[in-house]
């Protein structure tokens, strides 16, 4: 689904976590992106996992109510060394999804590697590289206290980039000469 040139939408990106949940909200107007808000929800002071999930649902619901996003994009849990961590992250993601679905807002899910690739061009980029690229893309100066905030923002930006039409012609080129020959209209 491509956006018309003047269409405006709000995208809420969430990096789910049971210790720190990061979020970022952007406004997309045509091909232009602008930062609306970013932040974190600290949950490390809560000992009960059920209370953490309740807080995630409440905070996500509050963000939806306050910013009225057109969609919610979430980072998918990934398998690490500890299956218990992945299960907890999956629950956190599910609760955030439920908050969006409760308000009939479409949800989208992206793998961590896809998000990094979309924002930096490198699927193995460090969190600091992602944050630096976002500061350039969205033209903001402040450095968030936690990189989880820029991780949530990266999810929103990734989603915006997924719906853009390609500016290049499709094709595999065996050389620069072949590219130039097939794209003469793009060269000055």
Output the average pLDDT for the chain.
87
pLDDT at 169: 45
Torsion sign, CA atoms 84, 86, 87, 92: positive
What is the per-residue pLDDT across 132-167, written as a single tens digit (0 to 9) for each? 999 999 999 887 778 999 999 999 999 999 976 554
Which position has the higher pLDDT, 186 or 143?
Answer: 143
Q: What is the pLDDT of residue 4?
A: 53
- Tell me: is residue 75 an annotated ligand-binding position: yes
d(CA 62, CA 52): 15
48 is in an annotated binding site: no
Tens of pLDDT, residues 25-78: 999 999 899 999 999 999 999 999 999 999 999 999 999 999 999 999 999 987
**Distances in Å between the alpha carbon of 36 and those of 69, 118, 181?**
11, 20, 42
Going along the chain, which residue ranges are E strands? Answer: 8-15, 20-29, 32-42, 71-75, 107-110
- The residue extents of the domains of the chain are 8-186
Residue 104 counted as an annotated binding residue = no
| Percent of the chain clearing pLDDT 70 (strictly above) | 82
pLDDT of residue 82: 81
Q: Which of 73, 69, 66, 64 is nearest to 152 (CA)?
A: 73
Which residues participate in catalysis according to the annotation?
15, 75, 148
C-alpha 91/C-alpha 55 separation (Å) is 12
**pLDDT surpasses 80 at 13:** yes
pLDDT digits (tens, 9 = 90+) for 19-35: 999 999 999 999 899 99
What is 8-186's CATH number? 3.30.420.10
Confidence of residue 187 (pLDDT cuts 50, 70, 90): low
pLDDT digit string (tens) for 78-108?
A: 766 788 888 889 999 999 999 999 999 999 9
């Amino acid at each position: 689904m491509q956006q018309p040139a003047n269409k405006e939408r709000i995208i809420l990106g969430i990096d789910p976590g049971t210790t720190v949940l990061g979020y970022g909200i952007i406004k997309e107007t045509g091909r232009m992106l602008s930062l609306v808000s970013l932040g974190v929800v600290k949950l490390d002071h809560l000992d009960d996992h059920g209370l953490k999930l309740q807080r995630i649902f409440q905070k996500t619901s509050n963000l939806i109510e306050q910013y009225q996003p057109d969609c919610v994009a979430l980072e998918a849990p990934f398998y690490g060394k500890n299956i218990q961590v992945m299960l907890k992250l999956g629950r956190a993601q599910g609760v955030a999804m439920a908050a969006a679905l409760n308000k009939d807002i479409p949800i989208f899910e992206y793998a961590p590697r896809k998000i990094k690739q979309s924002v930096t061009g490198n699927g193995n980029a460090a969190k600091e590289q992602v944050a630096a690229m976002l500061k350039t893309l969205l033209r903001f100066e402040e450095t968030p206290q936690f990189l989880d905030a820029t991780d949530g923002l990266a999810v929103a930006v990734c989603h915006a980039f997924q719906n853009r039409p390609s500016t290049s012609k499709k094709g595999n080129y065996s050389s620069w000469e072949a590219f130039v020959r097939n794209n003469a209209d793009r060269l000055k």
